[in-house]
Amino acid sequence: MYQKDSGDKKYFRVLNILNKLNEGPVRVSALAEEFGVTERSIQRDLERVNLTGFHLDMPERGLYTFSGGVSLKNFNLTSEQLSVLVLMREMAAGLGGAIQEAFDKVFARATAASAEDSPFYAVGPRTLNPLTRKFYEDIVYAIERRKKLKVRYASVSGVKERVLCPVKLLASEAFFYMLASADGAKDGQFQKYRVDRIKRLEILPEEFPAPAPDLIKKIIGPATTIWGVNEGKKTPVTLRASGAAADFLQNKELLPRQKVSKPFPDGSVTVKAVIHHPMEVVPLVLHWLPEITITEPPALRAEVKSRIDAYLGK
């Protein structure tokens, strides 16, 4: 089983597409470039939007718009559509801050019903460090207008002032990261900066040249956690999962380029993936012990063992 798009990525993409449709026509090629996916993936997203009941017209090839009279503001939602919106609202609440506020506005424009009307409820951790409205708006403004940012950033090595050229805002594990290059760095040299470690931020008047879309797509690639963004060489891994871990991995893409075998007679599965950093796998294995084991490579298996030994030795 190969799932190219994780559920979280699809959720954010469809939500963004709905917002764009509410503003006017959207073009498939432009959306594919913006989100770093194939045009076929965008077509599937639009088909999902259309089948949900947000009917679309195609005035010309590759261009889509809401049908006459359809908008998020006055759309007559069915209970099923309301339930899906409420579920997504709960997911947005888990991200907190500006993301939650933005989705609440979308939700309010679509319906006046409350969460209690839905049979769904998202259970999960809530962020303790939400993305603040000020930083969110300033970073998005700088990305869209290719403006340099002067930030005071607290890294593990201390607090320093830096001038950065931001290109993307990333969310992972309830943290927000800014993907940026240092002013004057060579092309393709990008780093991740945790937004909650930014102590001060100033938008500078100077602009920087936009990086090639293919470059950013390559940097982010198929990463399913922040560890896989712009990190080392590719390493093939093979896992063996049983019990609840096997069920979980068959229903959710947790590893980049994840391929899950058909279940064996005992219900276990083999999971193959290609990672850029050990921490793309280690937390997953530790979480699902003893129902998941690393078959290949031996070095990754030894890494997990060393962490377990270090814990037991305390």
**Rounded Cα distance, 96 and 125, in Å:** 11
- Fold classification of 7-117 is Arc Repressor Mutant, subunit A (1.10.10)
Q: What are the sequence ranges of the domains in the chain?
A: 7-117, 133-219, 235-312
The whole-number pLDDT of residue 3 equals: 38
**In this structure, what are the phi and psi dihedrals at residue 189, rounded to the nearest 5 degrees?**
-95, 95
The whole-number pLDDT of residue 155 equals: 87
Q: Is the pLDDT of residue 98 over 80?
A: no
Each residue's pLDDT tens digit, 243-267: 999 998 888 888 888 899 999 999 9
Each residue's pLDDT tens digit, 61-78: 889 988 876 666 555 666
CA distances from 134 to 103, 137, 153, 169, 210 (A): 17, 5, 16, 14, 23
H or E stretch at 26: strand 26-27
Q: Is the pLDDT of residue 118 over 70?
A: no
Tokens of 269: 């599965």
How much is the mean pLDDT over the chain? 81
The whole-number pLDDT of residue 79 equals: 53
Q: Is the pLDDT of residue 81 over 70?
A: no
Of the options 3.40.50, 1.10.3470, 3.30.70, 1.20.5, the CATH number for the domain spanning 235-312: 3.30.70
Q: Which amino acid is at 93?
A: A
Check residues 205 and 134 and name the one with the higher pLDDT: 205
The whole-number pLDDT of residue 212 equals: 80
Average pLDDT value for residue range 152-170: 90
Closest listed residue to residue 256, CA positions, set 191, 172, 196: 172
- Percent with pLDDT over 90 in the chain: 30
Tokens of 46: 């639009």
Average pLDDT value for residue range 227-245: 88
Q: Is the pLDDT of residue 285 over 50?
A: yes
Check residues 116 and 249 and name the one with the higher pLDDT: 249
Each residue's pLDDT tens digit, 13-63: 777 787 788 778 999 999 998 888 888 888 888 887 776 667 788 888 889
Q: Which amino acid is at 170?
A: L
**Rounded Cα distance, 269 and 69, in Å:** 48
CATH class belonging to 133-219: mainly beta
